[in-house]
Each structure stands twice: as structure tokens, then as C-alpha cells.
Amino acid sequence: MNTHAIEAQYPFKRSTSVQLRFNDIDALGHVNNSVYFQFFDLAKTEYFAGLEVNADINWCKPAIVIANVNCSFLVPTVFQEPVEVLTQCAHLGNKSLTLLQHLINRDTRELKATCATVMVNLDPETNQPAPLPKVWRDAIVAYEGHE
Amino acid sequence: MNTHAIEAQYPFKRSTSVQLRFNDIDALGHVNNSVYFQFFDLAKTEYFAGLEVNADINWCKPAIVIANVNCSFLVPTVFQEPVEVLTQCAHLGNKSLTLLQHLINRDTRELKATCATVMVNLDPETNQPAPLPKVWRDAIVAYEGHE
Amino acid sequence: MNTHAIEAQYPFKRSTSVQLRFNDIDALGHVNNSVYFQFFDLAKTEYFAGLEVNADINWCKPAIVIANVNCSFLVPTVFQEPVEVLTQCAHLGNKSLTLLQHLINRDTRELKATCATVMVNLDPETNQPAPLPKVWRDAIVAYEGHE
Amino acid sequence: MNTHAIEAQYPFKRSTSVQLRFNDIDALGHVNNSVYFQFFDLAKTEYFAGLEVNADINWCKPAIVIANVNCSFLVPTVFQEPVEVLTQCAHLGNKSLTLLQHLINRDTRELKATCATVMVNLDPETNQPAPLPKVWRDAIVAYEGHE
């Protein structure tokens, strides 16, 4: 089942601990698949908030939206398991970027799930893809330490 | 943004209307991305429940688990929008199958999101991938009308 | 455990069928307590949308907010159980109203949970309780058929 | 709107920080009401896990279930607001106990919501209320420091 897992090319610089809730667990006794995306979104928010951007972020009027997610579920997550999400920008395109995220057990470092998210910058006027703002591009390159 | 959308090779025979809830909508005024997977899961349950399988389904002890999802978000879904999920088995492998699902507006038939889910059959003893049970394979072929 | 259940004084005129989702079920095999409030909110939305109000409803800028809920859980709800929410306005005060809601099994009419919700009208300027708008009061009285 | 708020008779000894998620926020820009109960449940789990009970806790086969919640919503909670839940056992009956919980802003100590939860011990054979196990009663009295 590991064939879909997405390899990281660079070291992860951002780690986000996740607090599990009782209702994250479904009838199978595992964290429900849909909840993994709540974790990944939480870590995305932290990733972007941790960048040094010379601009205000309006979380409720985003220009950069999620276009595609590709997530492989490798090992189930159980109640009270300590987990964290590692996040990196794996690709920085002209109008889009790809975040790579790993959900791991905080203690054993076991890889639970790996998710690539393509985010696209939209022009608020036309709602069409537009070049990523330079302040964001610069902030990501500065944070990740490579193009 | 449409490049990631997954094309359907066969007609969809299964449709599942989805009842939106107020809290499905997030601060952006759209159905939150993570909620789409609740919709797709709901429709998967209906898809499998609608097959004529000569075996009991134990939803709480599944043999067939989700290994990978690949979902493209094309158009946001808003509060009180009528939506439905179309589901088909797009690929039937030896140990895995791929479900293709489209979330559409029930009235306009506009495509909102498209998701491919790879599901793998696990041997309950070893937890390793194992050939799909013949009763399931037969039921899917009979339902879809092709191999 | 039935002592907390809230009796209905009037017949329920509004019924809302609820579509259960797989992830509504928690590790105990029942619909999670927190999910009941998603059901009750869904039915509140339908209740208000079903009134003949001579005014537009802006669901995203509500004047009438939830101040208190009092919910008794009588019988667990299980996966694929057919359920519906019955809703009535049980009390119409000057600045507040109380909705009474029953979650029942659609087939057996078994009472699963009963919830009283106090909703208060807020003046958008001061954020303080203010008299309920007359159009709402009239619409509720007309719908329920009594003061 | 403060009249329904439930006063604490004793000091709170248990505090649980809550990690907000992006999708906790609904279309109104506030943490959705139903999500408060996820927070309170999380804090209940921590409260019970923090007791020194001479017995194993099986979270997935609870004997003590939620019979009633009475929650007052005083002040909305917004995205990225630091919040915590304070929990105490406010009443220890023969077959039931009442937990009192306050959701507060971690920095300003502003009270956001207050919730009383009645939990009943069920005999697993008959599913009827039964006296609270002595190990639990002793552990709660020892923790709270009073009867």
C-alpha cells in the first residue's frame, strides 16, 4: 500500500502538533479519513502564518485556494495517539504551488499518511489563475531555503 | 484548474443526493474541503450497499480500506445548494479497486469536484493486501455491466 | 434517564429527515453527541426557512442567535438508522424564543433525544437583546397556530 | 444573555487547552455551536484520564454516559483565539454525576460558554442506571478535595 506515498525531496522545516478529539475517531476505531484533511488544513494555516510575508493575510478572503489533494493513507491513527503534521513547499510554480505534508506519530516517527496539495492563486476579479504574488513567493523561498 | 479533473470512462449508474448541514460551510462561505470526503464516503457506503453481494457487509470491520484519494476541487459549493454524488467503479484490480466520484449540482449538473479513491482488500490475519473476494468482484461487474 | 426529557405542549408541525453520514458515528458505535446539534441546527434552518416571513433571511448575518441549549440524550442512534427531527416554537418571549426539538426514529417514532434551544434577538448595533422583529413574531404565530 | 450561565461553586482544578481548527469556524465567522461539545468532550476525557482510578478505563465501552447537557453560549469564539476548557465535578449523586465546564479565553479569562453535563452510570447487563462504581467516586472526591 506504500506505492502511492509521496517522497519528500527536501527536509521538513515546519512541524504542527495535532490535538486529537474523541469524535475524530469513527466506528472503525480509527481517525476518520475526512478528519486527516482537517489536520492538513490546520498545518497549512500554521505554515503560511509562519512565513515572513510583507503583507496581511486575510484567512477569510483567500486568494490561494486548494485545487487538488492527493493523499495516501498508510497506517491508521488511533485515539490518544500523539501525532504531528510536517509541511513543506515541494513545488513553486508560476500560478500554483504544491505543499507536501506528512502525518506522523510524534514519538515513533511512523508515517501515517502523506498528502500533496496543489494550491492555485486566483485573480479576485476574474476568478482565473494568476501569477503568485511576489511577496508570497519570496517568503516561501526564504523560508524553505531553496527555489 | 480543470486539468486535474478525472474523466469518467463509463456512465455513472449510482447517484446519491447529499443533505448539506449548516456547519458544512466554513468561514469562506463554502462547503469545507474536508467535508467533501464525508460526502464521498456517504456515497461509497450507498454504492456498496446497492450491490447484490451474496455476503453480509460488516461496515465496522471492513476488509476493503481506503489507500489513496485524489480529489480535484473545481467549483465551490454554497449553502443550500442541491448536490449529489455520482459513483462508479473505474478500475477493478486484483487486490484493489478504484472508485470514481463526481460531486455535481443536482439541478445544473455542474461538476464541483471529482475524486478517485483506491481501495485495497486486506487480509484480516496479516493486514497485507489480498485478492478481492470473488463475491465482491462478481457483484461489481454485474452492477457496472463490464469488467 | 427520562426525567430530563422536555415535553411538547403543542403538536409538531415541522419534520426534517436527517441523512446520516458514516463519520457521524463515533468509536462507541453511536452518533456522537456533538453531531446531534448539527441535526438540530439543520432542522432549525428548515423551520425558519419554512415560515412565511415578509423579509429576507440572511443566514450569514443572523440577528437571532443561540443563547442556551438543553438537550437530553435518551436512546443512542446507530448507523443507517432512519431519523428525523421534529421542531416547534414552544415559547415566544419579548426578546427571545424557545424552539423544542425531538430527534426520533422515523419508523418506530422512538424518541432519541429532546432539545430546547433559547434563541435571542440581538440589536446589530449594540449587540444587546432587543425585541423580536414583528415580521418574525407574526410568521411564527401564523405557522404554529397559537400565541 | 448571561442569566443561563451556570455558576461554579468550587475552584476548577482541571484545565484543557483546545487547539482550534480552521473548519471549526462556520459561515458566521465563529466557532460553530456543535463544535463546543467537541471541546467539552475532549476536556471530559482529560478530566477522567487525570483521575487516579484503580481501574482501567475502556473509552470505547463506557459505563458512564451523557444523559443531559445544558450549555449557555455567552460570547462567540473566533479563529485563532486561544481557548481552554475548565472542568470540575459539580455534583456527585448516587447513580449520576454532573460535570461543570467553562470555555474561556486563555489570555483574557473571558467566559465564552458554560456547560453542565449530567452523566449516568449504566449497568452493562440491564442498561439501567446503577450506582457509580466506588473506585470512580473515590477518585473524584480525592481529586476535587470535597464530597
* Encoded amino acid at C144, one letter: E
Residues of B in contact with C36 (CB under 8 A): none
pLDDT digits (tens, 9 = 90+) for D28-76: 899 999 999 999 999 999 999 999 886 666 655 667 899 999 999 999 9
Contact state of D69 with C71 under an 8 Å Cβ cutoff: yes
Burial of B35 (0-12, 13-18, 19+ CB in 10 A): buried
pLDDT of residue A55: 67
Distance from CA of D88 to the nearest CA of A (A): 19
Nearest to B22 among C21, C29, C45 (CB): C45
Closest by CA to A106, choosing from A3, A17, A6, is: A17
pLDDT digits (tens, 9 = 90+) for C32-71: 999 999 999 999 999 999 998 866 666 556 678 999 999 9
pLDDT digits (tens, 9 = 90+) for A69-89: 999 999 999 999 999 999 999
Contact state of B29 with C59 under an 8 Å Cβ cutoff: no
Closest-CA residue in chain A for C21? Answer: A26
Helix (H), strand (E) at residue C73: strand C64-73
Average pLDDT over chain C, rounded to an integer: 90
Provide the 8-state DSSP code for D8. P
- When pLDDT is averaged across residues A108-133 and rounded to a whole number, the result is 92
Q: Which chains touch D (3 or more CB pairs under 8 A)?
A: A, B, C
Q: Hey, is A67 helix, strand or coil?
A: strand
Percent over 70 (pLDDT), chain C: 90
Q: Are A139 and A52 in contact (CB under 8 A)?
A: yes
pLDDT of residue D12: 96
C53 or A57, greater pLDDT: C53
CB atoms within 10 A of CB C57: 15
Burial of C136 (0-12, 13-18, 19+ CB in 10 A): buried
pLDDT of residue A1: 36
Closest-CA residue in chain D for B78? Answer: D27
Break chain B into its structural domains and give their ranges. 2-144
Please provide the distance, in angstroms rounded to a whole number, between the alpha carbons at the two ends of chain A: 31
Q: Which chains touch B (3 or more CB pairs under 8 A)?
A: A, C, D
CB atoms within 10 A of CB A78: 14
pLDDT of residue A127: 84
Average pLDDT over chain A, rounded to an integer: 90
pLDDT of residue B55: 67
pLDDT over 50 at D112, yes or no: yes
Nearest to D60 among C28, C59, C72 (CB): C28
* CA–CA dist C8, C17 (Å, integer): 19
* CA–CA dist C144, C139 (Å, integer): 9
* CA–CA dist B69, C45 (Å, integer): 32
Q: pLDDT band at A57, cuts 50/70/90?
A: low
Least confident of A1-10, A108-117, B47-56, C25-34: A1-10
Q: Are A56 and A122 in contact (CB under 8 A)?
A: no
Contact state of C59 with D27 under an 8 Å Cβ cutoff: yes
Q: Which grid cell sits at A131?
A: 501569477
pLDDT of residue D2: 40
Residue with cell string 426557512: C49
Percent over 90 (pLDDT), chain A: 73
pLDDT digits (tens, 9 = 90+) for D8-38: 889 999 999 999 999 999 998 999 999 999 9
pLDDT of residue B54: 67
Of 3.10.129.10, 3.40.50.1220, 1.10.10.10, 3.30.930.10, which CATH number belongs to D2-144?
3.10.129.10
Q: Which grid cell sits at A92?
A: 513553486
Q: Hey, is B135 helix, strand or coil?
A: helix
* CA–CA dist D41, D47 (Å, integer): 10
Q: Hey, is D48 helix, strand or coil?
A: helix
Contact state of D27 with B26 under an 8 Å Cβ cutoff: yes
Contact state of D42 with A29 under an 8 Å Cβ cutoff: no
Contact state of C27 with A32 under an 8 Å Cβ cutoff: no
* CA–CA dist A73, C44 (Å, integer): 37
Closest-CA residue in chain D for A25? Answer: D60
Predicted complex ipTM? 0.91
* CA–CA dist A83, A20 (Å, integer): 8
Q: Are C99 and C45 in contact (CB under 8 A)?
A: no
Closest-CA residue in chain B for C44? Answer: B22
C6 or B26, greater pLDDT: B26
Distance from CA of C20 to the nearest CA of D (A): 16
Q: Which grid cell sits at A3?
A: 506505492
Q: Which chains touch A (3 or more CB pairs under 8 A)?
A: B, C, D
Residues of A in contact with D45 (CB under 8 A): 22
Q: Find residue C99's DSSP bridge partners.
A: C89, C117
Which residues of C lie closer than 8 Å to B, measured between beta carbons? 17-19, 21-23, 29, 38-39, 41-42, 45, 59-60, 79
pLDDT digit of tens for each residue in chain B (147 aa)? 344 456 788 999 999 999 999 999 999 899 999 999 999 999 999 999 999 886 666 655 667 899 999 999 999 999 999 999 999 999 999 999 999 999 999 999 999 999 999 999 998 788 899 999 888 899 999 999 987
* CA–CA dist C87, C99 (Å, integer): 7
